[in-house]
Structure formats: C-alpha cells, structure tokens
Chains A and B, each alone.
Chain A
Amino acid sequence: MNYTKQIQEIAAKLFAEGKIDVFVGYRMNGFDDNQVPVLISGPQDISKLVFTDKSVFNLVNYLKTDHTRRKRVGLVVKGCDSRSLNLMLTESQVKRENLYVVGICCEGVVDDDGQRMQNCVECMVPDAVVYDELLGETLSGSQTLTGSKPYIVNVDIAALAEKPLTERAAYFEEVFESCIRCNACRHSCPLCYCAKCCIDQETATLYNGANTTSAAFHALMTWSLHLAGRCVDCRNCEKACPSHLPLHLLHKQNESVIFKNFQEHLAGVNPGDRGAFYKYSMQDPDDFIM
C-alpha cells in the first residue's frame, strides 16, 4: 500500500486551485521508518507527504484543534478514520463543505515493530466510507455496509470473557492501577471533542480529582461508555497511552454487546447514525430486567 505519489498530486492540485488552507497528512518522522502526522499550509511542503502501511495515526483527530477549525482542510482517511469523520459530521463538529477528503481503501497498517495492527486484522470496514476521492481498489470487506459480512469478535475480548471473574477483576485492577491519568487517550481520540470533558468538571473533580486507581477506573469507564456505539476502533488512544494499556478491550467489549443485542451497524458507517445510545428499538433485550 503506497499512495504517496497520488496524495502529493492531490495536495498540489488542491493548493493550486485554492480549495484548501491546510492539508493534513503523514510525513516520515526523521529518525526511523515510522511516520508522524503533518499539517501542511502551503505547496512548498508537499514533498514531505507520504502514505504507506506505516500511516497509522487517525488524522480526524486534528479536525478538533485550533489549527483546523474554521479552515478549509484536506485530509487523508483510512476506513476506520472515515467512520470517525462520519460521526464528527453527524455530530455537527465539522462542516462537510470545508473538507476535501482523500479516502483510502486500506489494506491495513503496521505498528512500530512491523506487525500488522490487531484492529486491521479484525477490520470490517477497510474502505473509506466518506470521501471526495477514493484511492485504491475497493476491498470486499465493505460488504459490512450491507450487513453481509459477519461481525468479528475481538480475540482479546473472547479470551478474557472465558476467564473466571476473579482473574478478570485482578487483570483489570492492574490495568487501572497502571493508568497515570494523563488523559492522552482522550486527547488523541477524534471523538473526544467536548468543550470541557466531564471528568475535568467541577462536579466530577469534587469527587474525582486525584490520580488514584479508583479515579482512573471512573474516568476510563465513563470514557468508554461515552464512546460506546461510537468508537471506530482506530486505536489512537492505545497508541497514545504511555502505559501501553489495552484500552481497546473496553471499547470492543461495548461494541460487541451493542452489535449482538441491538443489531446496530458499526459506528460511523452510516451517515447520520449517531450510535446505539441515541436511539432505541421496542425489541431491545429485556430479559436482564426483573
């Protein structure tokens, strides 16, 4: 997967036609073969742009920053990224007319060690679902859009669910204890755009300000429930976590429960779909309620 040339051409064209103010893409990080996001504000830097299977970070995250608000932005999105973009559009955080979206039919990206990322192995929507221009061949996985591809349950979730309660409790206690509450997960998540996050507010901090394990538990649980039915599994949070916590467990758990019980589509696949918590069906399971 290498779209470096195409993306450079598109960026050059967009700047030449005066269609955008900023182009968000990837560049080499300058010391090894990994890449970092880059915001390009003019044609002079276009040669920096690259796109390969090392283009990992979800660039939609940059749509919530000062650098892009109220500007015309061009950006590159992979399948998962485009789903988060869809949610940003649905939730009125960005205006579609201000964006020029280069969609990628993503064959999967690799982590720092060259291993294919787990979310790519389990990816159900590799094609970008919102774009102005689509690069690459459509991959069969996009059938999920019509529901013909079965839901893939995350292997870690399945493994943990098998374990006895006490083991799970002990495992997660270590997870929450290892959290240093830097909130990097939140800041790197494209869908955490709130003007002021609930866990930073006075009401919450009054009971929750410390960096204790219990506070980390509260913060991460609340966070994952706020992303339930919205998380697109781009794993920006996990990449950002300095403690390398398996944050995807929480999200994938919610996703699998939602998918299984409410027959919902994957988050952000359908434009206008706000996610499972913002609608209901009379047929939702009722058997867990006395």
Chain B
Amino acid sequence: MARVGVFVCFCGANIADYVDVPQVVEEVKRIKEVKYAVEYKYMCSDPGQGMIRDAIVQHKLTSIVVAACSPRMHEKTFRKALSDAGMNPYLLEVANIREHSSWVHQKDKKAATDKAMDLCRMAVAKSIANEQLHEISVPVTKRALVIGGGIAGIQAALDIADARIPVVLVEKSPSIGGKMAQLDETFPTLDCSQCILTPKMVDVASHPYIELIPYAEVLELQGFVGNYKVKIKKKASYVNFKTCTGCGACWQKCPVKVPNEYNLGLDKRKAIYTPFPQAVPNKPVIDAEHCTMLTKGKCGICAKVCLPGAIDYQMQDEIIEREIGAVVVATGYDMWDPKPYEEYGVGRFKDIITSLEFERMVSANGPTNGVPVRPSDGKVPKNVVFIKCVGSRDEAKGIEYCSKICCMYTTKHTILLHHKVHDSHAYVFYMDIRAAGKGYEEFVKKAQVDTAATYLRGRVSKIYKKGDKLMVRGEDAQIGQVVEVEADLVVLATAVSAPKDNPELARLLGISYDKYGYMSEAHPKLRPVETAKAGIFLAGCTQAPKDIPETVSQASACAAKVCGLFAGDTMKKDPMVSTINNEYCSGCQNCVNVCPYGAIVTDEVPVGHGSKDLRTVAKINEGVCQGCGSCVAICRSMAINLAGFTDPQIINEIVSI
C-alpha cells in the first residue's frame, strides 16, 4: 500500500497569492494513499527540504509529491532531499502549480486553486505507480574523434591530446589548416595568420597522442556516449605517405594544370599537388579527376620521377574503424556564393572579387605575390570599393543572420590595401559597423584615420561598366543622395554560410542542425558547446559564424568537456530508459526500426521455462537509450515501458482528476 507524502509550497507569495494553499492541502489529504500533507513557505529552502527528510522517516512514506514550481527547476533539488533521507530519488513527483497555475491564472483564485488540486491529484496518482530507479553506469572508451582540421579542430585536438587522451583527427582535404591557412593577416592585431597557425599544425602532426587522418571523411557513427564506433573513409591519395619524402619532384614535373582551390582559382596547381607549401602533412596527393594517368592511362611521369617509388596508381579508398568515446565536430564554414547579386554583375565583370580572393591576393604567398591586381588586365587598382553585407542580413537574396566577421575583415582589407598600394583609395559601403570585441572598435577607428578610406553608409544598387572601370552606384544614406564611385576593383564581403555537407554529417552523427545548416547546440546559452546527443560537441563555425578567438575558446571548451567526460572509468546516466518485458515481446522488431539511437537490438530467449526452443525478442541497450519513448508508443503488445513515464503512470494521471 502506497504511502504518499505531499508537500505544497507557497513559493513566498508566488503561489500563495493566487492559490489557496491550505485548501489544496486539505483536499489532498482526502486521497486514500496520502498519509501526510503539509504546506510550507519555501519547500526548496534548507528547512523545507528538512521537512521532507523528516516526514519520510517519521511517516514511513513510499513516495513524495512536491507541489511547487516546474520540475525543470527543482526536480534535482528535491530528488537529492529524498536521497539524503535514504529514499530512492526517483520516487519523487513534482506538481507544477506555479508555472502551470498560480502564474497563469492570477485573476481567478478559485479556478487556480481547483487546478492546483487537480495537478496535485495527478502527481499523487502518478507517484503511486513510481518505481525505484537506479543510475546506470556505462564504461568509457577514452579516445576522442575530432572532425575537421581547421583552427577549431586543431585547437581541440591539441588540448585534448595534451591531457594525454588519444585523439583521432579527420580532415577532408589533403592538409589541415582550414580557412585560417588562407588568411594573410588577422584582425585586430595584424599578426601573420600563417605564423601563428603553422606551428600548431606541426604540433598536431608530431603529437604522440594525435592520430592525423587527412584526406578522409566520416562514414558512419554507431554506439553511444563513451562507446562510439566510427567508420572513416580514407580517400585514395595514390601516394604512399609512408615512403614519400615530400621532395616535390612529382608536382614540379606534372604536366596537368588545374585551377588552384587554395588560391580560389586565381592561379593553377598540378594534378599531383600539395595544397600549399606549409601543408601538414606535407605530402602530395593525386587529383584523380584530372590526372591523365588515372583518367586515360597515359602519362605516369610522377611515378617515373619519384625516387622512393611512393606513387601507387592502384591505390583504393580505405575504410578504417576506430573506437572512440566522444566527438568534436569542427567542420568550419563555406564562403557564400554571391551569384544571386545579379545587379552587381557578379560573374559578368571580372573585376568584382570576393573578400577571400582579395585575401589571397594580398597574401605574400598568394598568386600575385602579395600585390592586389585586377583580374581583367593585371593592373594594380587605385580605387577599390568594398561592399559589406553581401548575402548577410539580406532576407531576400541571402541569409538573415549577420556573419559577424565581415566588418572586421573589411577594415583589415582597407589597411592591407593601403599597405600594399600606397596611392590607392578605399571606399566602403556598409550598413552598420559591428565591432564588438577586445580591441575591435579601436582597430576600426585607427584604420579609418590611417587609411583615410571613404565610408558610405548604404546599399549598393547597381554596378555597371564604363570603359575599363566599374561604376558603383549606391545610396549614401547619411546625406540622402545617390552616389557613384568609379572603381578599379570591387571586393564583396560575402557572408559566412554553413558547410553544405553539414546536414548529411548531422544525420549520420544523429545530431540536429538549424535551418541554415549549422549544427544545433543543446542550449543556446548554457550548453553552447554540447549537442543534444551526449558525447558530441561543437567547435567553431560549424555551430554559427565566429571569429578566430571565439573559435579557439570554444574548441578549448570542447576539450574541457571531453576531458570531463573521460575523467572516470565509467559514466553515470539517467535511469529514464526503456525496458522490455520478454514475456510480452512478440519479436516484430518495429522498435528496432524506429529507435533513433540504434539502442535496440535483438536477443534470443527460451520459448518457455526451461525450453530449448528459442524465440527472438528485442533488447534495450541501456547505455544508448536516451529515453524518448518512441519505441514504447509503437509497441503494440505493450512489451516496452519507459521508466519514469510508464503506461500505468500516465494513465493514472489521466484518470485521476
């Protein structure tokens, strides 16, 4: 026979002003199973919890109902109070009479009181069906997977590895480094991007705890927090990295020329190539799409010149598997394609370039050796127009959000232009200048003075060609007039967009993503680096546009989370998981089919007591189960129940009012 104790909270005036608490207590006392009911000013306070502890012992209570604020607020607090009194913490039920009654029915005390009574009755009825539950402990594989080798992935990998936890770093392209390796200088300090990044890249390659797998993709992730199994596809590079010395003879002799991705197609690379001179690992790969040996079977020069004989045209994609315990997703971002801006003549006029193209031009190791030139005639531009918010903050053509970094990098670009072409003049069309960040506003101010750039607040409406110049027409909103600027070169500050592969990756990892394709964090404020799936974390622009310092902070935060997860040999897990009653299970395996986590497998059990005949039933892997209850609702024979939300509990609630 259940003995329920009910504790009704005043919450100061929050509940007591709108609900007749003593009346609720009187009503609850009428329920047969309720052996003790009392009201108190603040149940969550120490004396309030003390009352619960004392009553449990004194009245031999078998379950507890606290009628107070939302269970999302204080369920944990009260569970602890039960634990302290030696009672199983899961025998607690919370009746939410504050958020669901007193605060939303402030004008009708009687109705609020009636509703509070009903909510208490429901909680009492549910608590009668509550069962003792015990936290589940799961063993942990102490190895982390980092997806993406940009600055976020590099930082996370290094931080985790420094804690002597093995890391598998998977990078899609032949070299790590990511977008940061393409940058010239970084705002607001103008230090050389390569100079601060490449040492870290080398650290990754040489770190004893990091296994670097470049030119590879994640194919499949199975398992659950602490116990994942990942399948990685290592794309065929046709170069044996073990024997290759990275001498470079092969790519120097290769006759096939291909647009160079690293320089955004501003120059050419070979069909066998290293993406850039400082690449890590500094070993070439063959571009199978363009190599004539692989496409037509003719050439083979690289193999001839390779002294160590590292070239292997027969190489196949390789699938490798690793057991890991946690995942850091750091897939970075894509530059938004400004094609929809037809009125700017994007695609038609060669002298309109994107910001990253400009970045490559002014970079010392870039295609033009650090001098910005007009793609049309190779002349050095004098008047350069920078247009901000191309794609960003534009619901009609682009994306709604602010890309966050464009204001700062455009400022940097005006400075770089000023440095490289002393007699140049920069015009900047902008909507706002957003320079929140340490040293950012100062940087912008100083740049405006130093470069004497002309800042025009307004949108550009049209760009047209006049002779070999580009005429940029826009509005200067501050004087309310249409202005036209004659430009040699136009640089579009294109938006940051989510990597196009993100949705596919999210699906295979089992995490969610937002409408733009960015990975979704578990909580926008309080859990910004975790995903809703335990053991998967987010670093850098894969979650939202970020600058380098923020990306690095988040990467380090991920590392801290991973280290925290791996602190013990086992992990504790909420016991609200599904359980299967073998007797009722008919083995139809529909649950196996709908489980989003692959937490259900099949098992063989004897048909009857002591029978040798076996039949198939479903089996829940407690470590994987997240407790959604999908399987419970689709199980026709009601063989599955979800601890904490069992059918009897919910039906008790339904019929109790």
Contacts and interface: CB of A to CB of B under 8 A. Distances in A.
Interface of A: 70, 91-93, 193-198, 201, 203-204, 206-207, 226, 274, 277-279
B638 A201 contact: yes
Contact of A195 (B583, B590, B651): B583
Identify which of B585, B586, B616, B639 gathers the most chain A CB atoms within 10 Å of its CB. B586
A149 to B, nearest CB: 28
Identify which of A70, A193, A195, A204 gathers the most chain B CB atoms within 10 Å of its CB. A195
A51 B587 CA distance: 33
A195 B607 CA distance: 11
23 contacts: A70-B613, A91-B589, A91-B590, A92-B588, A93-B586, A194-B584, A194-B586, A194-B636, A195-B584, A195-B637, A195-B639, A196-B583, A196-B584, A196-B637, A198-B636, A201-B638, A204-B638, A206-B648, A207-B655, A226-B636, A274-B590, A278-B593, A278-B634
B593 A195 contact: no
A51 B447 CA distance: 93
A103 to B, nearest CB: 24
A197 B589 contact: no
Contact of A193 (B586, B589, B634): B586
Identify which of B583, B616, B648 gathers the most chain A CB atoms within 10 Å of its CB. B648
B57 interface: no
B247 interface: no
Contact of B616 (A92, A203, A226): A92
A274 B655 CA distance: 33
B647 interface: yes
B594 interface: yes
A197 B637 CA distance: 5
A1 to B, nearest CB: 33
A278 B594 contact: yes
A195 B585 CA distance: 6
A153 to B, nearest CB: 26
A277 B636 CA distance: 11
Contacts of A278: 590, 593-594, 634
A93 B586 CA distance: 8
A92 B637 CA distance: 15
Contacts of A93: 586-588
A174 to B, nearest CB: 26
A203 B638 contact: yes
A107 B586 CA distance: 34
Contacts, number: 48
Nearest to B587: A92
A277 to B, nearest CB: 6
Contact of B651 (A196, A197, A203): A203
B634 A277 contact: yes
Interface in B578-615: 583-590, 593-594, 613
Nearest to B588: A91
Interface size class for chain B?
20 to 34
A250 to B, nearest CB: 16
A207 B651 contact: yes
A91 B617 CA distance: 11
Interface string B341-376: 000000000000000000000000000000000000
Identify which of B583, B616, B638 gathers the most chain A CB atoms within 10 Å of its CB. B638
Contacts of A226: 636
A197 B590 CA distance: 16
A189 B637 CA distance: 15
A201 B585 CA distance: 13
A198 B632 CA distance: 12
Contacts of A196: 583-584, 637
Contacts of A277: 634
Contacts of A70: 613
A194 B638 CA distance: 9
Interface in B635-654: 636-639, 647-648, 651
Interface in B514-535: none
B497 to A, nearest CB: 21
A277 B594 CA distance: 9
Nearest to B655: A207
Identify which of B588, B593, B655 gathers the most chain A CB atoms within 10 Å of its CB. B588
Given A203-B647, A203-B651, A278-B593, 13 more contacts: A91-B588, A91-B589, A92-B587, A92-B588, A194-B636, A195-B584, A196-B584, A196-B637, A197-B637, A206-B648, A207-B655, A226-B636, A278-B590
Contacts of A203: 638, 647-648, 651
Given A194-B586, A203-B638, A274 B593 contact: yes
Nearest to A227: B636
A210 to B, nearest CB: 15
Contacts of B634: 277-278
A99 B475 CA distance: 79
A183 B587 CA distance: 22
A194 B637 contact: yes
Contacts of B647: 203
A201 B635 CA distance: 13
Contacts of A206: 648
A230 to B, nearest CB: 9
A240 to B, nearest CB: 19
Contacts of B594: 278
Contacts of B637: 194-198
Nearest to B641: A203
Contacts of A193: 586
Nearest to A230: B636
B33 to A, nearest CB: 15
Contacts of B587: 92-93
Contacts of A197: 637
A277 B588 CA distance: 14
Nearest to A201: B638
B638 A195 contact: no
Nearest to B593: A278
A196 B617 CA distance: 14
Nearest to A226: B636
B403 to A, nearest CB: 27
A268 B637 CA distance: 20
Contacts of A195: 583-586, 637, 639
Which 10 pairs between the two chains have the least Cβ-Cβ distance? A194-B637, A91-B588, A198-B638, A226-B636, A194-B586, A195-B586, A196-B584, A203-B647, A278-B590, A278-B593
Interface in B546-602: 583-590, 593-594
A203 B635 CA distance: 14
Contacts of A274: 590, 593
Contacts of B585: 195
Contacts of B586: 93, 193-195
Nearest to B648: A203
